[in-house]
Amino acid sequence: MFVAKKIVLLGTGGTIAGTSPVAGAGTGYTAAQIAVAELLDAVPAIREVARGGVLAEQVSQLDSKDMTHAVWLRLARHCEQHLADPEVQGIVITHGTDTLEETAWFLQSVLAPAKPVVLCSAMRPATAMTPDGPQNLLDAVVVAAEPTACGVLCVAAGEIHGAREVRKAHPLRLNAFSSGDVGPLGWVEERSVRWARDLAPVRPHESSAGQMVRGLPEADLWPQVEIVMSHAGVSHALVKALVDQGVDGIVVAATGNGTVHEELEKALEEAERSGIVVRIASRCTEGRMPGAPDARWASANGLSPVKARISLLLDLIDDDLAAAHDEGAAVE
Ligand code: SIN
């Protein structure tokens, strides 16, 4: 007998939960005002789609421009706990659009979930004349309830994007997200999902199943990784300040296929000599930087600079854990 499983709805804030004192206004609002349980109650059709029920939990309530590593860690722990529950079909997370792509890549990297974890947002506040949040929320639940879905996904304006490629590409329009030249993974059409291509980019890692989340230290112990941009007229000033600050890693938002201004290159070589790990990502918003085989620094495997920062951060945490493990083994 088929028994419908439940959907977990985690609230983090964003415009989807935003309100304006001016009835119907689409700008000049405050994000993260309405509780996620209230957003759920405003869309009765969700309960028709999620026949196993919906469990709503508020994880944070913030404008995503202010997202922190501590909130990411809390969110990942909530996800890990619910994903391990055999009664849970999938997770929907309400989130602001501004840093959604970063949270998506972080969660994909640490969870690589076999079940769908769907990030859902809105470009207009809940009090707008025609808010886009309710439809996006319903669509996200449709995807979370879809048996063929897996991995961390973003659903907005009827499009489904994968965590690796998705980026916010427009500051205003309703379909603000893009997967660049690969296009969306699929679409939500009248409560059903149509995949455009294989879900390989978000398929689970064999060994993951939350292992990485359990290994993560508290957020105040995470390494410091910053982004600098290579641009015309760039100086060594920012890199020098980062060296003085003692950061652990620097991601360079490089030009084109990973090229770096000669002034910045000299500063980065200096940084590397002081033990800072340098990684290169491209400023280009389309395509995937293959990098040159003789490149001076490791490339970020085609990730955007903000996602490359997350990958380097997690690699450095892994290195720290491995070093602590080796030290422990040597003492025994
Ligand atoms: C936010 O990112 O929290 C505010 C902007 C938005 O959700 O569109």
pLDDT-based confidence at residue 153 (cuts at 50, 70, 90): very high
Say whether 8 sits in a helix, a strand or coil: strand
Query: Beta partners for 189?
Result: 192
The residue-averaged pLDDT of 74-89 equals: 97
**Domain 223-331 = CATH 3.40.50.40:** yes
Q: What percent of the chain has pLDDT over 70?
A: 97
In this predicted model, what pLDDT tens digit does every residue of 230-262 receive, in sequence order? 999 999 999 999 999 999 999 999 999 999 999
What is the distance between the alpha carbons of residues 67 and 36, in angstroms, rounded to a whole number? 17
Closest residue CA from atom 2 of ligand 1: 96
**Domain 6-213 = CATH 1.10.10.410:** no
Probe ligand 1: pick from 12, 94, 97, max atoms within 8 Å of CB? 97
Q: Which atom of ligand 1 is nearest to the CA of 65?
A: 2
Amino acid at 332: E
Q: Where are the domains of the chain?
A: 6-213, 223-331
In this predicted model, what pLDDT tens digit does every residue of 170-191 receive, in sequence order? 999 999 999 999 999 999 999 9
Say whether 163 sits in a helix, a strand or coil: coil
Is the alpha carbon torsion for 145, 146, 152, 155 positive or negative? negative
pLDDT of residue 3: 75
Torsions phi, psi for 124 (to 5 deg)? -115, 145
Q: How far is residue 310 from each of residues 106, 161, 184, measured CA to CA in Å?
A: 6, 19, 22
- Of the residues 15, 94, 99, 103, which is catalytic? 15
Probe ligand 1: pick from 29, 59, 64, max atoms within 8 Å of CB? 64
Torsions phi, psi for 107 (to 5 deg)? -65, -40
Pairing of strands 249-254, 277-282: parallel
What is the distance between the alpha carbons of residues 148 and 78, in angstroms, rounded to a whole number? 22
Question: Which residues are near ligand 1 (CB < 6 Å)?
Answer: 13-15, 31, 63-65, 96-98, 121, 123
Q: Is residue 203 within 8 Å of 194, Cβ to Cβ?
A: no
pLDDT at 206 over 60: no
Q: Which atom of ligand 1 is nearest to the CA of 100?
A: 2
DSSP state of 182: G
pLDDT-based confidence at residue 1 (cuts at 50, 70, 90): low
